[in-house]
Amino acid sequence: MRLPLFPLHTVLFPHLPLPLQIFEERYRAMTRDLVADGSAGGGRFVVTMITEGSEVQAIGRSVAQPTAAARIGTVAEVRQAEQFADGRWALLAVGVERVQLGPVDRTGAYAVVEAETLPELVGDAASTERLLPEVQAALDRYLETVKHLVASTASVGGDAQEINRVTASLDELLKPFRLPEDPLAASYAIGGMLQIELGRKQRLLELPDAVARLQAELDLLRRETVMLGEGSMPPLGANDLRFDLN
């Protein structure tokens, strides 16, 4: 399939939301085409992680420089779109499926890519039954550790009002989360929740099946929980837990 390409400094997993602020002209043109009646792609585009370069055209350049990006990405579908008076757009897209990227056509107003859908495989059923409860328990411990760390960071030198604001925000952001029973959906949900480097997220996205992804996420959840608990990692702020706006 042939779809618009939107490289970003983010990794999008299937089933997860992606809010976007569209201000650059080439992506405004892309958005107009996406939301138009009878859109050729049905309001869909491909998101892939930038490995080199910028998602924004450099000031002073009349032509945007191509970026280097991962060869596996995710098809996103526009669910909500609002245009502002100055021409900017606010979009809410949702990940649909993983794809392998092929040739990129940059001759038009924005890049278009040939993309091939990747199979959605679960893996060994027995391993799934074993992994899901372990991953759920590890996720619970991880979220509690993140909540404690952020609250502790906010309490250092913060006034009572700020501490209460952060605590309320954390209670909403990090409330107990029950993983879906579908192992694929569960593996993608954890991939989106983990506060780790983009390169690690990309490797999770690229794993061939849910069992491999869940096992890798279990290891990461346990590792991150220990490191956060020991203070071995830089403190996270409440804003670090929100979705990126691009």
**pLDDT (tens digit, 9 = 90+) per residue, 72-96?**
999 999 999 999 999 999 999 999 9
Q: What's the token pair of residue 176?
A: 């107990």
- Per-residue model confidence (pLDDT) at position 236: 41
DSSP 8-state code for residue 203: H
Q: How many residues does the chain have?
A: 246
**Nearest Cα to 217, choosing from 238, 233, 203?**
203
**Residue carrying structure tokens 């924004």:** 56
Give the whole-angstrom CA distance, residue 93 versus residue 80: 7
**Nearest Cα to 101, choosing from 42, 45, 43?**
45
- Per-residue model confidence (pLDDT) at position 173: 59
Name residues whose C-beta falls within 8 Å of residue 190's C-beta, 6 or more positions apart in sequence: 135, 139, 179, 214, 217, 221
Question: Residue 80 in contact with residue 92, Cβ under 8 Å?
Answer: yes
- Classified as helix, coil or strand, 179 is coil
**Nearest Cα to 99, choosing from 31, 41, 20?**
41
- Per-residue model confidence (pLDDT) at position 169: 63
Mark the ranges of the chain whose per-residue pLDDT is less than 50.
59-60, 234-246
**Burial bucket for residue 142 (CB in 10 Å: 0-12, 13-18, 19+):** buried
DSSP conformation letters of 11-52: -PPTT-EEEEEE-SHHHHHHHHHHHSTT-TTSSEEEEEEEEE
**Nearest Cα to 104, choosing from 205, 206, 3?**
3
Give the whole-angstrom CA distance, residue 109 versus residue 120: 32
**Burial bucket for residue 28 (CB in 10 Å: 0-12, 13-18, 19+):** middle
- Classified as helix, coil or strand, 162 is helix
